[in-house]
Structure 1
């Protein structure tokens, strides 16, 4: 089964500086190695979901610039339908990321085109499930939630107060411990996936634990994109009809693979086997 999924969210070009340690305020470090990678939570989740077997359409915006062209090509290579990506006059979003030797990161996002998505120009089947986040304009997220009738999954990142329509329409919240603590109302939500870092993740139904998956040991190189891969894998797994415990374990396995050394980690297409087999 290859479930349909619309992903709504940010599309960024990530500029990563890999260093032994991040600079302190006012300090310069000179050992950086620069890489350019596709990013943005929307693009990351769409690419991961497509590589895991979903029929994925991305809704977002890029600029009419080289970065936008590069991002669209990367998404199409991953198997994502980019017909829902708008081209606007603002520059394509950019993220400046410092990654230290322990894989920890600090990020500055320049939203650019991501804040110029026109909700009136979004054309989609309201019955198709949605996975989204909070890196784009809140009104756009609310518009898609309001007009959706299928599953609406929300990765509450970055954490912020949620509108009434999001509390009403969201069937799956995906959060880390900090985001969960910032929104006490999540304790009454219908279904919450709470990630616990190296300890794995749990599923909570109205505050009661209904599934748990342990963390998967791995050598962490960079945590960039791990949460997005987890969100995509869990959503695709649940849409495939995989039971909650197995879908959660699969999502943990996929998230762990993303943080590992690029020279040894399997491609996400290979990890699709986790979804029916965990």
Structure 2
């Protein structure tokens, strides 16, 4: 059916069109840059080719920002790194025709690098076809295709190689402030920060989502077919972001591991995190994908209902977790705050990494949203020091059926049998704890609201604040202090904005202890 001019196009279709057109534009630029001496920063500055689509790529902009160099200077090292991901034949073609010089550091025997990287494209092509087998062996190829002629090389092989490279450039997800291929530099800087943090307020790594919250503030949440009057606000949010802000406001050194889109909403989230002194270096930025949105309906009592609008492209991957930057962040932290907002496989890989650490950080887990296959995590629950969630969330992790009438104590026993050291059930500003040291219910001060969206985040961050310097199990007053932090979040609207300072928690804590 033919589309009329005013027929709507879905947002995903726009993204695919933009992605495909971006790849084609970059491929055309790269193939034109092959002429003469190949790719260089001087060539990009002085060429008659319109190279702006290449310089405007997210990966190029972030690489340049990271290294403190001009975008023209960032293209060559970035391309040299990305080319290493290509198959040997594609890598060889791109290396020779763009004159990247990948073989200069370790010149292979029998290869004349002056001819392979000659100033004339025609000579580079001719030498490439002549020394085809030797060059493939130098690239570590397991299977060597038949050598092409110069004419046939210019057809399908070149088109395929440059299409693959352009696709990598146009779609590469990057970490904010640190391109994924720059992991060595990122790891070294993280290590330096960790050594500083360990001597000061404690280094905390948070793993969870960062989204834009669409907040609908109503007198009451309407039922099916009902209506309600209210107001609307937009704020950065997400379980991961809120916990990161909560920990930073308590004075700890915090970094967030998350993912956002390469759009205005993603930029807004990154700016907000930096304004709250949260390190965003390990927040992945995904091109051609919108930052997720969560709709939150909050009643006047503080009770809330949420609708999460996810995009499968905006998430961490197994490849991300293999980067030295993230692995060093996990190993060098004093505490890890983890939510279940990432795919089950990613959560499983994080838990496995934590379990294998020789010196393990304090691990606090919020088991929400519920996982499809929680049993896959059971073998790793021995790495969890504190499991913090509502009764329903804890029951889902213990695989209790919906509507099960088992008590919180029974759920806690099941989870502790799987290795969790302490279970904290939170409901309506109350906290009930089951652990070897403490088994009690805490409600330190009367509250005006019934609930608060940010209460769980405040509790977890406050508990970490009390324990990160002592490395001892939580005692009664630690739980009282963390519960006081929940009470301090009583507000509707901006969820991370309600996260308290130490002085605010201390004030409520003193009131609570005076009452008791």
2:441 aligned with 1:204, yes or no? Answer: no
Q: In the alignment, what sits opposite 2:364?
A: 153
Distance 1:254 1:44, change over 3 A: same
Which sections of structure 2, spanning at least 5 residues, go unmatched?
1-199, 399-410
Give, in whole Å, the separation in 1 of the partners of 2:451 and 2:439. 30
**TM-score normalised by length of structure 2:** 0.49
2:467 aligned with 1:238, yes or no? Answer: yes
Q: In the alignment, what sits opposite 1:169?
A: 383
Q: In the alignment, what sits opposite 2:230?
A: 32
**1:219–1:260 Cα contact (<8 Å) kept:** no
Instruction: Please show how residues 247-262 of structure 1 align to structure 2 within 5 Å.
Output: 247-260=478-491
2:354 aligned with 1:140, yes or no? Answer: no
Moved more, 117-126 or 127-136: 117-126
Which sections of structure 1, spanning at least 5 residues, go unmatched?
none
Secondary structure of residue in 1 paired with 2:481 = helix
2:482 aligned with 1:271, yes or no? Answer: no
How far does the alpha carbon of each residue in 1:201-227 deviate from its partner, in whole angstroms, 9 at most, with x for none?
A: 133126x84455324222228611111
Aligned pair count reads 274
Distance 1:72 1:147, change over 3 A: same
Q: Which has a greater percent of strand?
A: 1
Deviating above 4 A after TM superposition, structure 1's stretches of 4 or more consecutive aligned residues are: 272-278
2:418 aligned with 1:219, yes or no? Answer: no
1:66 offset after TM fit, Å? 0.9
Q: Which has a greater percent of helix?
A: 2
Q: In the alignment, what sits opposite 2:458?
A: 229
Q: In the alignment, what sits opposite 1:179?
A: 393
1:179 offset after TM fit, Å? 2.5
1:92 offset after TM fit, Å? 1.0
Relative contact order (C-alpha < 8 Å, sep 6+): which is higher?
Answer: 1
1:71 offset after TM fit, Å? 0.9
Name the Cα RMSD after superposition: 2.8
Higher Cα radius of gyration: 2
Give, in whole Å, the separation in 2 of the partners of 1:84 and 1:168. 26
Secondary structure of residue in 2 paired with 1:58 = strand
Secondary structure of residue in 2 paired with 1:23 = coil
Give, in whole Å, the separation in 1 of the partners of 2:499 and 2:315. 35
Q: In the alignment, what sits opposite 1:79?
A: 277
**1:99–1:106 Cα contact (<8 Å) kept:** yes
**1:174–1:192 Cα contact (<8 Å) kept:** yes
